Amino acid sequence: MIDPVIVLFGLGVGLLVGMTGIGGGSIMTPLLILVLGVKPVTAIGTDLLYAAITKTLGGWRHLRQGTVDLGISGWLATGSVPGALGGVIVLERIHDAYGEGFDATVLLIVAGALLLTGAATIGRAVFLPGMAERERDTLVLDRSHKLAAGAIGLSVGFVLGISSAGSGALIAIGLIVVFRLTPRRVVGTDVFHAAILLWVASLAHLASGNVDLWLTGNLLIGSLPGVWVGSGLSVRVPQGVLRPALGIVLVAAGLGILTKAGLDIPAPVLVVVPLALAVLTFLLARARRPARDPEDVVEEEMAAAGGPSVRGGEG
């Protein structure tokens, strides 16, 4: 049987994943737990498998579009794959020694990092638009870049192994702050690498019996077309729009992880806050836009009509 609600969840998250590289474990897992009442362990395992398949499709399309930095993705994977396996192994031992409280602490740290980075990304896009000039599509990796990518991958993989969160959002932080990639390259590289990492973690959960295959199938019915459309939109949406959108999704991901940490955040808040940030960002960007010279407006109108230029040139 097909559940329309679950399919819509998959469609929405698939669009986010395709456009921003973020939204899998950070948003879907809390939705499965809070809205559908899925057991946390099953929600985590199911979400990882669904996200692995979804991001594989998205990563393939981003690769064809040329928005993937294969060098950075490869060095991220050298750290994230063993990190994820290590996280799954360490999780069991930590739970035996310290109980469930350790998970909440890790999730609070992750959520704080996402909220801070999301706010910084939005602030940079709105208040410091000149910083966008320093962004780059790619870079020649030296030894320090490779070590940084491996370290980021190792830490993110470990967090994913013990919490199911961070495969997209935390990698995006590194791609933005450390490598200063343009938003399109952040999304493409993030999605492509996450597909590799998620397969490792999801197969471990599948072997442990933590995956609901019926639930995974319903999510995929919506998410696969969603990620396909979102991946195509990521290269058509202007960077001035995609950059703050990336920050807004980071904030939404942080809120989602806070719910996993045990904070009682109503489900509507997970939708209302990102929408409010989008409206506020639009209004601030519009207010900061320089006023147009009246003569420029007349010039454009005359040029469009084929008439003479008001500044003395040809129309």
Instruction: Identify the CA nearest to 259 among candidates 107, 118, 37, 87.
Output: 107
CA distance 260 to 263: 7
In DSSP terms, 181 is beta-bridged to: 136
pLDDT digits (tens, 9 = 90+) for 203-224: 887 887 888 999 999 989 988 8
Place of tokens 């992750």: 110
Instruction: Identify the CA nearest to 14 among candidates 167, 278, 192, 219.
Output: 219
Q: Is 29 within 8 Å of 210 (Cβ atoms)?
A: no
> What are φ and ψ of residue 34, in 5° steps?
-80, -40
Q: Is 179 within 8 Å of 106 (Cβ atoms)?
A: no
With respect to residue 314, please indicate whether it lies within any of the assigned structural domains: no
With respect to residue 116, please indicate whether it lies within any of the assigned structural domains: yes
CA distance 11 to 9: 5
With respect to residue 121, please indicate whether it lies within any of the assigned structural domains: yes
With respect to residue 217, please indicate whether it lies within any of the assigned structural domains: yes
pLDDT digits (tens, 9 = 90+) for 113-147: 678 777 767 776 676 555 555 667 677 788 888 99
Other Cβ atoms closer than 10 A to 94: 17
pLDDT for residue 309: 47
pLDDT digits (tens, 9 = 90+) for 53-89: 888 888 888 888 888 888 899 999 999 889 888 877 7
With respect to residue 229, please indicate whether it lies within any of the assigned structural domains: yes
With respect to residue 313, please indicate whether it lies within any of the assigned structural domains: no
Q: Higher model confidence: residue 246 or residue 50?
A: 50
Q: Higher model confidence: residue 243 or residue 293?
A: 243
314 pLDDT more than 60:
no
pTM for this entry: 0.67
pLDDT for residue 221: 92
C-alpha Rg value of the chain to the nearest Å: 21
Q: The domain containing residue 192 runs over which residues?
A: 4-305
pLDDT for residue 315: 38
pLDDT digits (tens, 9 = 90+) for 271-296: 888 888 888 888 877 776 654 444 44
3 state SS of 84? helix
In terms of Cβ atoms closer than 10 Å to its own Cβ (0-12, 13-18, 19+), residue 40 is middle
- pLDDT, mean of residues 249-276: 80
pLDDT digits (tens, 9 = 90+) for 91-120: 667 666 766 666 677 667 667 767 877 776
% of the chain residues with pLDDT over 70: 73
In DSSP terms, 177 is beta-bridged to: none
DSSP state for residue 235 in the 8-state scheme: T
pLDDT for residue 166: 62
pLDDT for residue 78: 92
Per the prediction, the chain carries an average pLDDT of 76
Domain count, the chain: 1
CA distance 123 to 125: 5
With respect to residue 310, please indicate whether it lies within any of the assigned structural domains: no
DSSP state for residue 133 in the 8-state scheme: G
DSSP per-residue codes, 142-191: -HHHHHHHHHHHHHHHHHHHHHS--TTHHHHHHHHHTS-B-HHHHHHHHH
Q: Higher model confidence: residue 14 or residue 99?
A: 14
With respect to residue 243, please indicate whether it lies within any of the assigned structural domains: yes
- Split at pLDDT 50, 70, 90, the class of 165 is low
pLDDT for residue 110: 67
